[in-house]
A and B are shown apart, each in its own frame.
Chain A
Amino acid sequence: MVEILSHEMPEYLARRQAARRRDRLVQIVAGVIAVAGIVVAGRFLQPLNDIRLENQMVIDPDTVKGLPPIETLLAKTGTFRALAIDIAFIRAEKLKEEGKYYELRELADAICRLAPRFPSVWAFNAWNQAYNISVATYTAEERWQWVNNGIQLLRDMGIQYNPKSVALYKELAWIYWHKIGDFLDDYHWNYKAELAVEMERVLGPPPPAVSEQETIEWFRTIAQAPRDLERLLADDRQVADLVQRLDQVGLYPDETLLDFIAQNLRDDLSVERYLEALPEDERYELRARRLALLSDTGLAAPRERLLAALRSWVLRQRYHMNVDWMLELMEKYGPIDWRSPYGHALYWSSWGDKVTQGQINLNPNDSMNTVRYIMMALANMVWRGRIILTPDFAHPNQSYIELLPDTRFIRHLHDAYIELSEAQFGDWPDFRPGESAGSYRVGHFNFLLEAVRQLYFEGDPNSRREAQFYYDYLRRVNRNPDGTQKEIYLVPLEGFVLQDLRDAVAGFKTANMVVSQLIYQSFRELAEGNVERAVQLWEEAKKIYGIYMTDVAGDRLDRRKLERLSILRADGLESFLANRSIPLVAKIRVWRAVEKRTRQIVWDRVEGLLHKLCSEHDPPLDGARAFPEPPGMEEYRKNPEQRRERGPSDVSEGTKL
C-alpha cells in the first residue's frame, strides 16, 4: 500500500505534464503580449486618424454625402470588386469597338458604382459617353442622349459622391463649354437647343425686356424662395389654396406644372399639339380651366411664390445646383441666361473652385484649368450670350435657337481677368494691380480688342463711351516691351475699329457679331432719323454677310453658315424693340420705317411685348395705333419665312440613284 502511494509518476507522464505547463505559460505570455500590443496600438490609432484627417487622406464624413446602400454594399465586395471592374471595362471596350452601345450606359454605371470614390473613373466614363460614343451614333436625339448621359453621370452622381474632386467639376464644365457650347460638333446646334428648352421648362421664358438688375431680382425670388415645399404649403394659406385649386384641374406642384406653364403661358407658341392625349372637348375645356386659373391676376402673388419655390426645388434636386451660388454669380458676373451652356460651364467651374478651396491634394493643373473656364465661359457669353429661342417642346432639338452677342458681360469679364490675375499671380514680382498677369494677359488684351469693336458697333452713347474706356485702357496697359505706345493704338477709336474689319470676319463668331451689330446699329440710326446712315450700315452688313457666306458656301452641314439675312434683320429688330434702354418713341419711329416683310417676321413674337410697353408707358399709349399689325399677316402665317435648318439629318442609308 505504501508502495503504491509512494509510487512516482512515470517519467513520460511527468514530461507531458511539464510540457503542458510550459505550453500554458507560453499561451498566457503570448496572450498578455497580444493584449498589450492591442492596447498600445489602440493608443496610436486616434493620433494617426487625426493626422490622416488633417492631411485630407480620408473622406471627411461631415462634408461628403454618404453613399446609397447599394453603392456601399458594392464597395465592400473586396478583391472581387477589382475583378468585376476589369471585366466590365473589358466588355465595355469590346462593345464600343463593335459599335454596340446598348449596354454601355449600364456598364459605365456599374463601373462607377463599384468605384464610387475614384474620381478618374467618373471622369473617364462621362467623357467616353459624351465624346466617344455620342459621335458614333447617327441621329440628333441619340447624340444628345449620350452627351446628356455624360453630364448626368458627373453632375448627379460623380460630384455628389466626390464633392472635393476639382477634376470632376473641370470635366463637367468642359462638356458644357466645349461639347455643347462650341461649334465643333456637327450637332452642336441641336445640343444647344435641347439644353435651352430643358432649362426653359424649369425656369420659363426669361422676363422680356428687363434691365440687368431686374433679371437678377427675378432670379432672387427663386433663390430666396422657401426650400421646403411642404413647409410652404403649411405656412402659406394662399399657396395651399392655389395648390388645391390646381389639383382640381389636374395640375400638381411638381415639374409638370412648370412644364405646363413653360409651354402654355407664352405668346408665341401654339399649344394645341400638346393636348392630343385627351378627347377634344374635354382637353379644350380642361386647358381653358387651367389657363384661367394660372392667369387669374387675383392669384398672381401666391402663384409666383409657388413657382419660385418649385423652380428652386427642381434646380436643387434635379440639377443639383446651389441656387444661392447661382444668384451670387448673377450678382457678380451679370444677368446669366441659364438656358445657355456657358452659364452652366461658369456655374460648375466656379462652384468647383469654391468648394475645393483649402484642399491639399489638388492637382494644380486641374485647379487652374477649372478657373480658366470661368473666363472662357464669360467670354462666350460676350460673343453669344443672348439667346433667341423659339422652343419646340415636342422635338426640342428642332427648336430655333440663335445666339447673339451680349455686351453686358464685357465689363464683368474684364473685371474677372484682373481679379483672377491678382488671385493667382498677385505674388509675382512684376504683377501690377489693376492689370491682368501671367498666362491671362494676352487673352485679356485679345478679348478687349474684340470688345472695343463690338461696343463701338452698338453705337449708342453709353456703348461708345465704354468702347473708348477699354481702348484707352489698352493704350495705357498693352505697350511695347520698352514702354512705348504700340502702333495699332496710334489712331483714334473709329480708325482702330474700321482698319481691319474685313480681316476680322473670317470666323463665324466675329462675322455673326459684326453683321448683327451693324443691323442693330442701323435701327438705332433709323430711330434717330439718320436714314442715310442707317442704309449705309445695312449695306455694310449685307456686304460683310456676302463675303463671309461666299467663304463658307461649301459647308454642307450649315455648321458655320449664318442665319438668312432677312431673319438676322428681324432678330436685330426684335432685339432693338426689346431693349429697355431705348425710348418707346424711338421704337415707334423704327416700327413705322421698317419694311413690311421684317415686321411680319417679328410680329407674332413681339406683339405682346409691344402692347405691354405701351400700357406701361406714362401716359399709356394705344398699342394698336403705336404698333399696328403689319398688313397681310394672315397670308404671311401660311407661308412664313423659314429659318435655316440646324443640324443635319445624318442618318445616311443607301439612296437609290
Chain B
Amino acid sequence: MARPPKRRLTETLALVPTAPLRAVDFCVDAYGGRALRCLWAVARQTIAEAVRMKLAIFFLVLLVLTFWAASRTEGDGTVSGRVQSFVTYSVTSAGVLLAVLSIFLSRSLSDELQQRQILMLMSKPLPRWQFLLGKWAGIVLLDAVLLAVTGLGVYLTATQYLARQTPLNDFDAGKLRFEVLTARHASPFVLPDFTREVNTLYARNLEEGVYDAIEDFAPLVEKDRLRKYLDGRWRNVPVGEERYFEFANVLCDRSEDSAIQIRYKAQANRYPPDEILRTQWIAGDRQKNTAIAATPRRDVIGRYHTIAFPADTVAPDHTLRVRFINVNPYAGEPQYDNRLFFEGPRGVEVLFQVGTFGGNLVRALVMVQCKLMFLAAVALMFATLFSFPVACFCSFITYLLAGMRQFIEDALGSLEAKGAVGLARAVISVMVDALGYVVPNFARYNPVELLADGRNVTLAWALQSVVYLVAIGAGVALLIACLFFYRREVSEVSV
C-alpha cells in the first residue's frame, strides 16, 4: 500500500493563516443550523475572495506602513507626547483604512450581480437575506481580524517600545504613567443646591412686586433663571475669595502612592500683563481625617490644566473636597484684580484611575469596529442598488458626512445668523438636521482622543455604540438592503 505523499513544510505553514477559518468551519458544521452554515459559507467565501484578490494583504501592508509612520512621530518631544501621538495616529488611520477596505469589499456583490456569478448561487436553496448577511459577516470579520492585529501592535509599540524610551524628565515619566498609559475616570464637581436661595430670592422679588409688570409670568421659568444666576455667581471667584468644590463617588485606590488629578480651566475677566493666573489649590477634608495637600499654581488663562494630589486626600466615603483660593501665593509677585470663573460641567473635574490602558484600548477598538460594521452594511445596501463605482461613491459620501457632521455643525454654529450668510446657514442647517436622521454622527463615538489622553472609554459608551451603530444603524441598512435585493431582478441586463 502506497504511503500518502509527505506534506512539505511550506504547505504546512500555508495552512496556518486558514487555521481559524477551519476551526470556525468545524464549529459551524458541528453545532450550527442550516441557516448558520449557509451564512458562514458566504462569509467564508467573501474572506477568501478578499485574500485571493490581495485586497486584504494590500490593506494590511498599508496598515503596517501607517503604523510605522505613526511610531516615527515626535509628538511634542516628550515620551508621553510621542505615545499620545502614536496612539492617536495609529488608531485613527487604522479606522480610516479599514473603512475604505469595507467599502471596497462590498464590490464583490456588485461584481457578482454584474458578471452573473450570482445566478449560480441563486439557483441554490440559499435565501437572499442569508446571502446578504453572509457578505456582511465576511466583511466585518475581516475588519475585526485586521483591527485586532492593529490593536495588538498599538499596545505592544506603546507599552513595550515607546514607553521604554528615556523620558525628558520626571514630570514626563509621571505623565506617561499616570496620565497616558492608564484609564482615568473624570467626574465633575457636585453643584451646591441652590433651592433654598432660589426660593428666598423669588419670595423677596414677589414681595417687592418685581414681577408685577411682567405679562405671561411663569414662576417655574423665573426660578430656573434665578438658579442659573446663582450658579453663575457661585462659579465666579473674586480676588481674595475661595470656593469649595465637592466631588462624590471618587472610587479610586486611596493608597499613599496613588494619585488623583484635578483638571480645570479658569477664565478671567481681565488679563494680567503676563497672562498668568496665580492661585492656590488645597485638596483634602480635615473633618473626615484625610491627608491635606496644597499647591500654588501659575497657569495660563483659558486652557485646561491638570494637577496631581495624593489619593489619600479622598475621604473613606469616596468624597473629595477641593478648595480653590483666588489669592496670589507667590511672594514678590503682584496680585492682579482678576475675577475668575469656571465654566460648564467640565470647568473643574477630578480624574482617578479606574482601569488599564489595555482595557481602554480594547473598548476603543470595539467602538471603531462598530463604525466599520455600520459602514459595511451601508456599502452593501448601495451595492444592491447601484453598480460598483456609484455604490462606492455613495458609501464614501456617507462615511465623509458621518465623519464630518460634528465639524459641519460646529462650523454652522460659528456663522452669523443674519443676512445672506444667515439664510445660507438656515438652509444648510435644515439639510444637516435632515441628514441627522439618516447618517449617524461618528464624532459622538470617537474614543481616540480619550484613549490618547488616558481617559476611560467606558463600557457603557462602547455598548451605546453597539446599540446605535450596529443594532440600529447597521440593522436598518441591512434591512433596506434585503428589501432592495429581494425586489431586484438579478438576471436583468445591466451595463
Interface residues of A (CB under 8 A from B): 87, 90, 96-106, 132, 135-136, 138-139, 141-142, 145-146, 149, 184, 186, 552-557, 650-657
**Given A105-B77, A557-B332, 19 further pairs, Cβ under 8 A:** A97-B265, A97-B302, A100-B449, A100-B453, A105-B75, A106-B73, A106-B75, A142-B76, A146-B76, A553-B332, A556-B331, A556-B333, A651-B170, A652-B297, A655-B293, A655-B295, A656-B292, A656-B293, A657-B292
Q: Assess whether B168 is in contact with A654, with CB atoms less than 8 Å apart.
A: no
| Cα A90 to Cα B274 with chains together (Å) | 25
- Which chain B residues lie closer than 8 Å to A149 at the CB level? 77
Q: Assess whether B307 is in contact with A653, with CB atoms less than 8 Å apart.
A: yes
Is B326 an interface position by the 8 A CB rule?
no
| Cα A654 to Cα B291 with chains together (Å) | 11
Q: Assess whether A102 is in contact with B276, with CB atoms less than 8 Å apart.
A: no
Given contacts A98-B304, A139-B169, contact A650 B298 (CB under 8 A): yes
Q: Assess whether A139 is in contact with B171, with CB atoms less than 8 Å apart.
A: yes
Q: Assess whether B76 is in contact with A102, with CB atoms less than 8 Å apart.
A: yes
| Cα A139 to Cα B296 with chains together (Å) | 15
- Which chain A residues lie closer than 8 Å to B265 at the CB level? 97, 99
Is B74 an interface position by the 8 A CB rule?
yes
Say how far B73's CB is from chain A's closest CB, in angstroms.
Answer: 6
Q: Assess whether B310 is in contact with A654, with CB atoms less than 8 Å apart.
A: yes
- Which chain B residues lie closer than 8 Å to A142 at the CB level? 76-78, 168-169, 171-172
Q: Give the contact stretch, choosing among B81-89, B115-123, B227-235, B462-470.
A: B81-89
- Which chain A residues lie closer than 8 Å to B309 at the CB level? 653-654
Say how far B210's CB is from chain A's closest CB, in angstroms.
Answer: 39
- Which chain B residues lie closer than 8 Å to A96 at the CB level? 303
Given contacts A87-B407, A138-B171, A552-B332, contact A654 B294 (CB under 8 A): yes
Say how far A223's CB is from chain B's closest CB, in angstroms.
Answer: 32
| Cα A132 to Cα B303 with chains together (Å) | 11
Q: Assess whether A97 is in contact with B304, with CB atoms less than 8 Å apart.
A: yes
- Which chain B residues lie closer than 8 Å to A184 at the CB level? 274
- Mark B292-335 against chain A: 1 for CB-CB distance below 8 A, else 0: 11111110101111111110010000000000000000111100
Tell me the dominant secondary structure on chain A's binding face: loop
Please, which residue of chain B has its CB at the minimum distance from the CB of A87? Answer: B407
Q: Assess whether A101 is in contact with B169, with CB atoms less than 8 Å apart.
A: no
Is B137 an interface position by the 8 A CB rule?
no
Given contacts A97-B304, A136-B303, contact A655 B77 (CB under 8 A): no
Interface residues of B (CB under 8 A from A): 73-78, 80-82, 84-85, 88, 168-172, 265, 274-276, 281, 283, 291-298, 300, 302-310, 313, 330-333, 407, 410, 449, 452-453
- Which chain A residues lie closer than 8 Å to B296 at the CB level? 652
- Which chain A residues lie closer than 8 Å to B410 at the CB level? 90
Q: Assess whether B305 is in contact with A99, with CB atoms less than 8 Å apart.
A: yes
Residue of A102, A555, A652 near B332 (CB, 8 A) is: A555
| Cα A90 to Cα B452 with chains together (Å) | 19
Say how far B286's CB is from chain A's closest CB, in angstroms.
Answer: 10
Contact sample, A vs B, 22 pairs, CB 8 Å cutoff? A97-B265, A97-B302, A99-B265, A100-B453, A101-B76, A101-B81, A102-B76, A102-B84, A103-B84, A103-B85, A106-B85, A136-B300, A141-B169, A142-B169, A145-B76, A184-B274, A556-B333, A650-B298, A652-B307, A653-B308, A654-B281, A654-B307
- Which chain B residues lie closer than 8 Å to A656 at the CB level? 291-293, 310
| Cα A100 to Cα B308 with chains together (Å) | 16
Q: Assess whether A556 is in contact with B307, with CB atoms less than 8 Å apart.
A: no
- Which chain B residues lie closer than 8 Å to A139 at the CB level? 168-169, 171-172
Q: Assess whether A654 is in contact with B308, with CB atoms less than 8 Å apart.
A: yes
Say how far B90's CB is from chain A's closest CB, in angstroms.
Answer: 13
Please, which residue of chain A has its CB at the minimum distance from the CB of B88? Answer: A103
Q: Assess whether B332 is in contact with A654, with CB atoms less than 8 Å apart.
A: no
Q: Assess whether A653 is in contact with B77, with CB atoms less than 8 Å apart.
A: no
Q: Assess whether B276 is in contact with A135, with CB atoms less than 8 Å apart.
A: yes
Say how far A133's CB is from chain B's closest CB, in angstroms.
Answer: 8
Please, which residue of chain B has its CB at the minimum distance from the CB of A148? Answer: B77
- Which chain A residues lie closer than 8 Å to B291 at the CB level? 656
- Which chain A residues lie closer than 8 Å to B302 at the CB level? 97
- Which chain A residues lie closer than 8 Å to B275 at the CB level? 135
- Which chain B residues lie closer than 8 Å to A97 at the CB level? 265, 302-304
- Which chain A residues lie closer than 8 Å to B304 at the CB level? 97-100
Say how far A471's CB is from chain B's closest CB, in angstroms.
Answer: 36
| Cα A612 to Cα B81 with chains together (Å) | 49
| Cα A657 to Cα B276 with chains together (Å) | 25
Say how far A185's CB is from chain B's closest CB, in angstroms.
Answer: 9
Given contacts A97-B302, A553-B332, A654-B293, contact A102 B283 (CB under 8 A): no
- Which chain B residues lie closer than 8 Å to A136 at the CB level? 300, 303, 305
- Which chain A residues lie closer than 8 Å to B300 at the CB level? 132, 135-136
| Cα A105 to Cα B76 with chains together (Å) | 6
Given contacts A142-B77, A149-B77, A555-B332, contact A102 B307 (CB under 8 A): no
- Which chain A residues lie closer than 8 Å to B75 at the CB level? 102-103, 105-106
| Cα A141 to Cα B308 with chains together (Å) | 20
| Cα A155 to Cα B296 with chains together (Å) | 37
Please, which residue of chain A has its CB at the minimum distance from the CB of B309? Answer: A654
Best-surrounded residue of A135, A184, A552 (most CB of chain B within 10 A): A135
Q: Assess whether A556 is in contact with B330, with CB atoms less than 8 Å apart.
A: yes
| Cα A555 to Cα B334 with chains together (Å) | 10
| Cα A184 to Cα B273 with chains together (Å) | 11
- Which chain B residues lie closer than 8 Å to A652 at the CB level? 295-298, 307
- Which chain B residues lie closer than 8 Å to A87 at the CB level? 407
Say how far A522's CB is from chain B's closest CB, in angstroms.
Answer: 30
| Cα A514 to Cα B143 with chains together (Å) | 73
Best-surrounded residue of A104, A142, A186, A650 (most CB of chain B within 10 A): A142
| Cα A102 to Cα B84 with chains together (Å) | 7
| Cα A414 to Cα B233 with chains together (Å) | 58
| Cα A141 to Cα B76 with chains together (Å) | 11
| Cα A106 to Cα B449 with chains together (Å) | 16
Say how far B258's CB is from chain A's closest CB, in angstroms.
Answer: 13
Say how far B166's CB is from chain A's closest CB, in angstroms.
Answer: 12
Please, which residue of chain B has its CB at the minimum distance from the CB of A101? Answer: B76
Residue of A90, A100, A103, A651 near B171 (CB, 8 A) is: A651
Please, which residue of chain A has its CB at the minimum distance from the CB of B322? Answer: A654
Please, which residue of chain B has its CB at the minimum distance from the CB of A131? Answer: B275
Q: Assess whether B76 is in contact with A104, with CB atoms less than 8 Å apart.
A: yes
Given contacts A103-B88, A556-B333, contact A657 B76 (CB under 8 A): no
